[in-house]
Chains A and B, each alone.
Chain A
Amino acid sequence: MKRRDFLKAAGGGALVAATTSGTAQARPNKEPPANAVGMLYDSTLCVGCQACMTECKKINGMPPEQAFGDDMWDSPADLSEKTLNIIKLYRDGDGSVKDRETDGFAFVKRHCQHCVDAGCVSVCPVTAMRKDAKTGIVTHHEDVCIGCRYCVYACPYNVPKYEFSKADGQIRKCQFCNQAGVERIDQGLLPGCVEVCPTGASLFGTYSDLKAEAERRVALQPGENTVYPRGMLNPGSGGYAQPGLPPHEKPAPQYQPEVFGDADDSGGTQVLHIAAVPFQKLGLPDLPERSFAARSETVQHTIYGGAVLPIAALAGLVYAARRSTVGKQEGDDSTGGQQS
């Protein structure tokens, strides 16, 4: 029995591979591009008019949905392959006062978060989810998508939606109004939902500007008068010159102290949220600091980095298989080995 030979060969190879490929190189969370665009959704400014939902449907060519039966208006229950953007309602007790956690209500806008370290981009086998190197916008490319729905399975925000009801269904998600054929950002326009927002609850800007603005707002004293821009924050910033409605001034509400979409939310999201009600109540997930994508890719790269480990293992296996087949083979049947 020459098992030890094999174990030596394979073990030695694997050891060399493990040490040279640097097993310990964990992939950190990704960083946003320098000129990344973003959106800030301020729940306290949202009046629930759903103009953004209507405009989103218009731009993306999507029909109204009647999730609750015979309604008179577009009434989706959640994001779907026909609804890429939805204003949802949080309600507690008698729901009497806006932006109050108990006995109150609040709005939340849900669509693709355009994650900095996007799970959908990380898992897609064929690069059908792409994060733009300049804007950081995550677009989908159905011309290469195989429809495996791993992006649907893995997105922490349940955003990508596959059209199960069609024979040639595709994945649908908000692409920040910048997919081929729409390209609003590239043309110097605002995202549709931002353009129609009457209060500035959805605000466009560069990611870094918006983060600073979000942090400024949550630090405000409740009641303190402050200016709220509409359309784009700091027009011209990052080279994105966008017109918008004039700003308005009003007293600040009592914000939650945190900004949702910070780097400590799994690397952050280019769509930021601030609100008066805790984010988990609004249905936003509580994510760990390290992104699931980083964790998954670290495992893949540890095992497959440079194909070193598989090749070393193959060498050991070829050696072992050759030893146990060749020489016992004369007149033997094909699958090698010895006759018993």
Chain B
Amino acid sequence: MSQHQPVGGRVLTLPVLIFGTLFLVALWILAQRFAFGLGAVTNLNNGYPWGVWVVYDIVIGTAFGCGGLALALTVYVMNRGEYHPLVRPAVLASLFGYALGGASAFFDMGRYWNFYNIFIPSNMNLGSVMLEVGLCVFAYVIILAIEAAPPVLEKFGMKSALAKLNRVLFVVIALGVLLPLMHQSSLGSLLIAAGDKVHPLWQANEMLPLLALVSAIAMGFSIVIFEASLSALGLKHPLDRPLLASMAPIIVGLLAVFLAVRFGELLLAGKLGYVFSSGGLSLALLVETALFAFPLVVLLNPANRQRAKLLFVAALALLLAGAVWRMNAFLIGFQPGAGYSYFPSTQELLVTLGLVAFEVMAFIVIVKMFPIFKGHGQQAA
């Protein structure tokens, strides 16, 4: 039998109620978006057609949802079974990250009722990065849902379904690695077609898919550390520190690759001059680079990896770094020309906040009710 157990405890706690309220606020704003149009609640305009809903909820949110990918890569591809206890919580968190990314894509879509056209072969434009992202994210949400099904099947004692699932699980797992590799790189490629409208400091052209992918995987490992640390704290659940620490070398490697490609591209394309001469954007680059460099420096030292707090802070910095790089590339460094400006409206931010609140709330509720975490108390901390 599975050694996973529900965490248990009261479901309707104060945090859950607060998160629930924030989610209701988001729903109310979304109702207005559907009734009166995107312009009624957002500051989007025809210079900045993509705002925080695209850039945070989809581009950054799904990168935060790469915990499942990171663990699938280690457990199943690199065959490191010792990470297995982390898989279920990570898959669940990924499912939420991606499902909400998908939901955001839907309500951000200006003509959502035409959404089905991306599935009609005669309408597909195979050269479009957006098509690849749309189809691939959609498929991955389904894969994540299948990967997240076992705890539910276990809880309701559906043994035969579980056995059937187990027989094909390796195919599901393989797809669960391939699909995010595809669309996480494509999310970077989205910027290539925008050409000069993306500031040279971020328009890395052919290097964008690589940068996006490498940073997304690094963010995946970081989110596993982040979630494991937080849920150990919040749900009074033992923390397997050595296990988390052993991810640090992988993160260091990915960070090194990211920074080398990032600055190598600037150097080879002769764009280093922009590093200091771009005013506010130079500052944005500085913040971004500092956030990437911090976890690299901290985690290079093996002693630091064993210190739970430092490991946590390094993971947090990396998550912020990946988020800031995406924000800079898609929005802050996006320059449609004179006369256009964008800063998210309160409603846009409240919707994003409400969705994150929903994610956290649902995660808490589910781990209390379903066997997600490995048996608590029995695990060496």
Q: Which residues of B contact A148 (CB under 8 A)?
A: 109-110, 130
Give the dominant DSSP class at B's interface: helix
- Contact present for A320 and B42 (CB under 8 Å): no
| Chain A proximity mask over B311-350: 1 for CB below 8 Å, otherwise 0 | 0000000000000000000000000110100000000000
**CA of A6 to CA of B40, assembled, Å:** 52
Q: Which single residue of chain A is at the shortest CB-CB distance from B127?
A: A297
**CA of A81 to CA of B125, assembled, Å:** 25
- Contact present for A158 and B46 (CB under 8 Å): yes
| Chain A proximity mask over B165-189: 1 for CB below 8 Å, otherwise 0 | 1100111011101100110011001
Q: Is B61's CB within 8 Å of the partner chain A?
A: no
- Contact present for A295 and B88 (CB under 8 Å): no
**CA of A317 to CA of B130, assembled, Å:** 25
Interface segment, one of A124-132, A176-184, A210-218: A124-132
- Contact present for A320 and B47 (CB under 8 Å): no
Q: Is B282's CB within 8 Å of the partner chain A?
A: no
| Chain A proximity mask over B185-206: 1 for CB below 8 Å, otherwise 0 | 1100110111111000000011
Q: Which residues of B contact A19 (CB under 8 A)?
A: none
Q: Which residues of B contact A145 (CB under 8 A)?
A: 110-111, 114
Q: Is B276's CB within 8 Å of the partner chain A?
A: no
Query: B203: shortest Cβ distance to chain A, in Å?
Result: 9
Q: Is A20's CB within 8 Å of the partner chain B?
A: no
| Chain B proximity mask over A228-263: 1 for CB below 8 Å, otherwise 0 | 000000000000000000000000000000000000
- Looking at the complex, which one of B35, B114, B171, B182 makes contact with A321 (CB distance below 8 Å)? B171
Query: B287: shortest Cβ distance to chain A, in Å?
Result: 24
Q: Which single residue of chain B is at the shortest CB-CB distance from A171?
A: B110
Q: Is B160's CB within 8 Å of the partner chain A?
A: no
- Contact present for A81 and B150 (CB under 8 Å): no
**CA of A215 to CA of B147, assembled, Å:** 63
Interface residues of A in 145-173 (CB under 8 A from B): 145-150, 152-154, 156, 158, 160-171
- Contact present for A339 and B174 (CB under 8 Å): no
- Contact present for B178 and A314 (CB under 8 Å): yes
**CA of A2 to CA of B80, assembled, Å:** 10
Q: Is A324's CB within 8 Å of the partner chain B?
A: yes
- Contact present for B195 and A337 (CB under 8 Å): no
- Contact present for B129 and A336 (CB under 8 Å): no
Q: Which residues of B contact A79 (CB under 8 A)?
A: 46
- Contact present for A169 and B110 (CB under 8 Å): yes
With A158-B337, A169-B37, A335-B84 known as contacts, the answer to whether A1 contacts B79 (CB < 8 A) is: yes
Interface segment, one of B22-30, B115-123, B255-263: B115-123
With A297-B127, A321-B174 known as contacts, the answer to whether A292 contacts B110 (CB < 8 A) is: no
Query: A28: shortest Cβ distance to chain B, in Å?
Result: 14
- Contact present for B124 and A333 (CB under 8 Å): no
| Chain A proximity mask over B119-146: 1 for CB below 8 Å, otherwise 0 | 0100111111111101000000000000
- Contact present for A165 and B39 (CB under 8 Å): yes
- Contact present for A333 and B154 (CB under 8 Å): yes
| Chain A proximity mask over B337-380: 1 for CB below 8 Å, otherwise 0 | 10100000000000000000000000000000000001000000
- Looking at the complex, which one of A158, A299, A336 makes contact with B192 (CB distance below 8 Å)? A299
Q: Is A25's CB within 8 Å of the partner chain B?
A: no
- Contact present for A313 and B154 (CB under 8 Å): no
Q: Which residues of A contact B206 (CB under 8 A)?
A: 295, 299
Give the dominant DSSP class at A's interface: loop
Q: Which residues of A contact B40 (CB under 8 A)?
A: 165
**CA of A142 to CA of B117, assembled, Å:** 11
Q: Which residues of B contact A303 (CB under 8 A)?
A: 182, 185, 209
- Contact present for B123 and A126 (CB under 8 Å): yes
With A292-B194, A340-B82, A340-B84 known as contacts, the answer to whether A144 contacts B114 (CB < 8 A) is: yes
Q: Is A123's CB within 8 Å of the partner chain B?
A: yes
**CA of A147 to CA of B54, assembled, Å:** 13
Q: Which residues of A contact B91 (CB under 8 A)?
A: 335
- Contact present for B130 and A321 (CB under 8 Å): no
- Contact present for A77 and B339 (CB under 8 Å): yes
Query: A314: shortest Cβ distance to chain B, in Å?
Result: 5
- Looking at the complex, which one of A165, A292, A329, A336 makes contact with B37 (CB distance below 8 Å)? A165
Q: Which single residue of chain B is at the shortest CB-CB distance from A152?
A: B49
Q: Which residues of B contact A49 (CB under 8 A)?
A: none
Q: Is B77's CB within 8 Å of the partner chain A?
A: yes
- Contact present for B195 and A156 (CB under 8 Å): yes
Q: Is A8's CB within 8 Å of the partner chain B?
A: no
Q: Is A226's CB within 8 Å of the partner chain B?
A: no
Q: Is A24's CB within 8 Å of the partner chain B?
A: no
Query: B127: shortest Cβ distance to chain A, in Å?
Result: 4
With A6-B77, A340-B81 known as contacts, the answer to whether A325 contacts B170 (CB < 8 A) is: yes
With A153-B50, A333-B150, A335-B169 known as contacts, the answer to whether A124 contacts B125 (CB < 8 A) is: yes
Q: Is B76's CB within 8 Å of the partner chain A?
A: yes
- Contact present for A337 and B174 (CB under 8 Å): no
Q: Which single residue of chain A is at the shortest CB-CB distance from B177?
A: A317
- Contact present for A325 and B76 (CB under 8 Å): yes
**CA of A169 to CA of B114, assembled, Å:** 12
Interface residues of B in 71-122 (CB under 8 A from A): 75-79, 81-82, 84-85, 87-88, 91, 109-112, 114-115, 117-118, 120
Interface residue ranges, A against B (CB under 8 Å): 1-3, 6, 77-81, 119, 122-128, 142-150, 152-154, 156, 158, 160-171, 283, 285, 287-288, 292-293, 295-297, 299-301, 303-304, 310, 313-314, 317-318, 320-326, 328-329, 331-340
The 7 nearest A-B residue pairs measured at CB: A147-B110, A334-B150, A164-B39, A292-B195, A147-B111, A333-B2, A338-B81
**Can you pick out 27 interface pairs between chain A and chain B where the beta carbons lie within 8 Å of each other?**
A6-B79, A122-B125, A126-B114, A126-B118, A127-B124, A143-B114, A145-B114, A146-B109, A146-B112, A149-B49, A152-B46, A160-B46, A162-B110, A163-B110, A165-B39, A165-B40, A169-B39, A287-B195, A295-B195, A318-B174, A324-B76, A325-B173, A326-B170, A333-B154, A335-B147, A336-B170, A337-B84
Please name 19 further chain A to chain B contacts, defined as beta carbons within 8 Å, in addition to the given A171-B110, A324-B76, sorted by A numbering.
A126-B131, A146-B114, A150-B190, A168-B37, A283-B337, A287-B196, A299-B192, A300-B129, A304-B132, A314-B178, A317-B173, A317-B175, A318-B170, A321-B170, A325-B169, A333-B3, A335-B147, A336-B169, A337-B76
Interface residue ranges, B against A (CB under 8 Å): 1-4, 34-40, 42, 44-47, 49-50, 75-79, 81-82, 84-85, 87-88, 91, 109-112, 114-115, 117-118, 120, 123-132, 134, 147, 149-150, 153-154, 162, 165-166, 169-171, 173-175, 177-178, 181-182, 185-186, 189-190, 192-197, 205-206, 209, 336-337, 339, 374
